[in-house]
Structure 1
């Protein structure tokens, strides 16, 4: 994976752009989250993510926020906590664009790997992550709260190029 915007333009339309997010983006982030999930994150959770050890990225199209990624960085590991696109914008390349940007930014910041959890039932997201080089490394039983039962998560990981050489 190389840094630079050319890789992002190849998968997103010319009007899309990725940018860092600020707390001014909270209302749009919460609206996208609520339109996407039965059990959305609360605004307070998003607010807590605006701190130095987190990276928050958004994809804009036609001047409005259409999706976001939240990444926590600890020691040498980036944890993709949330990647979400507005339902109207899925399957247009924006998710791949945002994922590539988040991965590149984390690796450029010195992270050796990125990990994430994805619902076992979210086959489309699993295919996206695996097509970008993520490998399955485990499961987290009952990870996602749901009604009437909890849902398992599949855990995926992507090693930074040359990260094994750094150890």
Structure 2
């Protein structure tokens, strides 16, 4: 490394930002309108991808048969939003690391529904923590997370199928 190169961490990879973003998303997406747990790690990974690529949300909603919410253009018209970076969809280690961090802070709880299904949700401490993130970037994450609510009812396998269709355009 040259002595003139400064270390650079892309904002998207900044750990604390991702922990906060994940907490806000889980606060909105973990329970359906009937207060039933509905968020597992696979669905969370897909939702994170969509939150980081908001230009794909309306197409995903349309392809799923749900009404598009018409995400604000200021949230979707960015270079990053139009990129095809799908790392978060396949990087289980990163998502698991974030989940472990939330758990170690006492922010995240899990409930085993079956041998194959563990549902994630915030503890009371996590809910209070997430409530503190309500301005600027996190206000946008709240808006985008609410836009994803119609996709909550789909299993991860169906969401993966929808995302594959999104990639095809």
TM-score range, shorter chain: under 0.3
Q: Which has the higher helix share?
A: 2
- Using CA pairs below 8 Å that are at least 6 residues apart, which structure has the higher relative contact order? 2
TM-score (norm 1): 0.24
Which structure carries more strand by proportion?
1
